[in-house]
Structure 1
């Protein structure tokens, strides 16, 4: 499935683009307008980068927290540092393991969440930012030939941005 995403500055231009596509023979079932008064980014299916970052952080925590616990426990056992001297012999190692688990949790939040927020969103974040700025997206989904036809119809309207995508997972 191919997508053509066109960014226009206001509602009137979005409706003008929709009408031009309709007159050009593009089926209305394959045209979507995103923006105020139309579909939202979530309704259309643009991924939310914050949600993806939370998922990635949770996934990393599954293995980082136990690894951190084991690393903290072993470090305390091998070095004999007694970071928690008041806890006594066996509990000192356990508390070292818990400190390692906290470090693993922090790593999953900072690396999994932070990197996921900045890199895991692809082009969805810039499109969401444009929608938040009051702009509109006109999206045509269909075969490559339909995307090419829509491109030739929309170019004369001078949109702010026009970009095609191919979804290989379909």
Structure 2
């Protein structure tokens, strides 16, 4: 979906732009006004690297943990190691699977932390503008529909940051 963030200098301009955008006939998926203070920006997934990383980790964990379990069971069976022999053959296989699942969980954290998003540079710019005291208006439109650029330009924004289409 096309996403852009409009940077404006004060609250009046931000709320006015937000109101004008909502009055347009174009369908908007999201139109959020973010003040320069508070933690509102950390609640928006598009502008919070921590939320994006957590979502990515959960998605990767759903795949890596079951495969890790199967790999742990398979490894226990093909190596004939008797590390957990006191638990019996089924218990040993189950513990091997659980250890493989734990490895899959650790792998999901490592993999999620190592991947950078295409939007990282744009998000960093927006967070810097916010720290400087600017207001942000997040605008998201459905696929195939461009944001109302005429309305955005009439608000005399300081900057318009277009995030990659999601």
Q: TM-score range by the shorter chain?
A: 0.5 to 0.7
| SS of match in other structure, 1:119 | coil
1:73 CA displacement: 0.6
Q: Is the CA contact 2:65–2:102 (under 8 Å) kept in the aligned structure 1?
A: yes
Is residue 2:156 matched to residue 1:144? no
Structure 1 residues 115-134: Cα deviation after superposition (integer angstroms, max 9, x where no partner): 46x42754335423543x34
Correspondence for 1:6: 7
Deviations 1:101-148 (A, max 9, x none): 100011112213x146x42754335423543x3431354855133344
Which of the pair has more CA radius of gyration? 1
Structure 2 distance, partners of 1:110, 1:5, is 33
The 1:60/1:15 distance shift into structure 2, 3 A limit, reads closer
Pairing of 1:1-170 with structure 2 (within 5 A): 3=4, 5-6=6-7, 14-15=9-10, 18=13, 29-30=20-21, 32=33, 34-36=35-37, 40-41=40-41, 46-112=46-112, 114-115=113-114, 118-119=116-117, 122=120, 123-131=122-130, 133-139=131-137, 142-150=147-155, 153-154=156-157, 159=158, 162-165=159-162
Q: May I ask how many residue pairs the two structures share in their alignment?
A: 146
Which structure 1 segments of 5+ residues have no match? 8-13
How much is the aligned-residue C-alpha RMSD, in angstroms? 3.9
User: Is the Cα contact below 8 Å between 1:71 and 1:97 reproduced in 2?
Assistant: yes
| Greater than 6 Å deviation, 4+ residue runs | none
CA contact (8 A) 2:68 2:101 kept: yes
